[in-house]
Amino acid sequence: MSAMTMADRIRARAAELGFDRVAFARADLPLGEDYVRFREFIERGAAGEMQYLAEHAAARERLDGEAILPGARTVICVARRYARGAEAERSEPPIARHIARYARGRDYHVFLRRRVQLLGKFVRLAAPPHKARALLDTAPVLERAWAARAGLGFVGKNGLVIVPGQGSFCLLGEVVTTLPLAAADYGAPIGERCGSCRACLDACPTNAFDAPFVLDPRRCISYRTIERRTASVDDEPAHALFGCDACQDVCPYNQVAPPEPRKTEAFAAHERWREARLADVVALDDAGYLAFTERSPLRRTPRSNLAVSALGVAARMLATEPHDGEARAALAAGVTSPDPSVRAHAERLVMRVARGLDDERKRG
């Protein structure tokens, strides 16, 4: 039996750390068309309030410069699945259905970053004096472009990386290293495989896609409920509490068996949310907010924004079921909120719901 190559050893260690797929790309070759598209995205103002993207735009062209790791030769791209089975999801707290799947459990920025760091440490110890830097969301890296270059997956029409056989319910991470690998170890783009399918585009509740592969984040539910900080009372009510899975739910590539339950335990909804309802989210004070969002990605959005999103969800529930008790309780909590921003949104939504009921009576 031949000795394991360094790439084999990295794959084996990544599997031990719980990653579902590993691929390698040359890190000393700058991005081409992907970077050009990114610059166009910034220049047309599509980033909205995500100014951190524009602040480090030039750094995103390459990995071997001062911004990431001078002398980098290889980027190790890893994917970790978080999809859970339908039965497991049905047993989750009701509030979880308003939260994107990746954000229902523990904050992956904490536990998954640690695993990427351990993979980086393995590279440094196995191949001294080479350097390795672990990355997960916080560095100026176009991670989907590098994952596609490495052949980890392909970018679908919704802009997400789809890993063949595993789908798009995956979190990405990278280890950039000065370690070179054999030419045969580097992957190659596998090419887009969506064909004529446009299920993800048609499923978007806010029509956030200008064209296939072209998302305007400013209309995206995930952007509106996570990134945006200056919501107006004139905005359309939110469709979700935090994030959105609509474009992934309908993707044919996601119709695959979920990982073993033990591998997705970290993404199970917090048990402390078992009795939480929308009204409770609307009424959170500072202490309550810290308790509700503890060890959760929901901490990324301010308390008042979370409350406003909950009000939006309630208003949409009342549009289809005017007597829904949970939704009515949420709007009532908003109207009496000590937060003027939350109160203003609630008052407007109460009027909107009332107008809708009045119009329905007139049509009847």
Q: Which residues are catalytic?
A: 137
DSSP-assigned states of every residue in 329-351: HHHHHHHT-SSHHHHHHHHHHHH
Residue whose pair of structure tokens reads 């905005």 in the numeric block: 235
Share of the chain residues as helix, strand and coil, in percent rounded to the nearest 5: 50, 10, 40
Report the distance separating Cα 151 and Cα 185, nearest Å: 11
In degrees, rounded to 5, the angle at the alpha carbon of residue 183 between the alpha carbons of residues 182 and 186 is 100
- Integer angstrom CA distances of residue 315 from 4, 77, 87, 321: 58, 41, 28, 10
* Residue 3 phi, psi dihedral angles, 5° rounding: -70, 150
Give the C-alpha separation, 254 to 166, whole Å: 7
For 99, 193, 200, 239, 341, the CA distances from 219, given in Å and listed in that order, are: 17, 25, 15, 11, 21
The closest alpha carbon to 126, from 278, 12, 220, belongs to 12
Residue 231 Rama label (left phi>0; alpha psi -120 to 50; beta):
beta
- Give 119-122's long-range contacts (Cβ < 8 A, gap of 24+): 119/10, 119/13, 119/14, 119/17, 119/19, 119/76, 119/78, 119/175, 120/175, 120/177, 122/10, 122/13
Q: Which residues, 6+ apart, have CB-to-CB distance to 339 below 8 Å? A: 304, 307
User: Quick one: which H or E segment has residue 277?
Assistant: none
Residue at token pair 């799947």:
101
- Cα–Cα dist 45/354, whole Å: 36
Looking at the chain, the number of H-run helices and the number of E-run strands are 14, 8
Is residue 326 classed as helix, strand or coil in its secondary structure?
helix
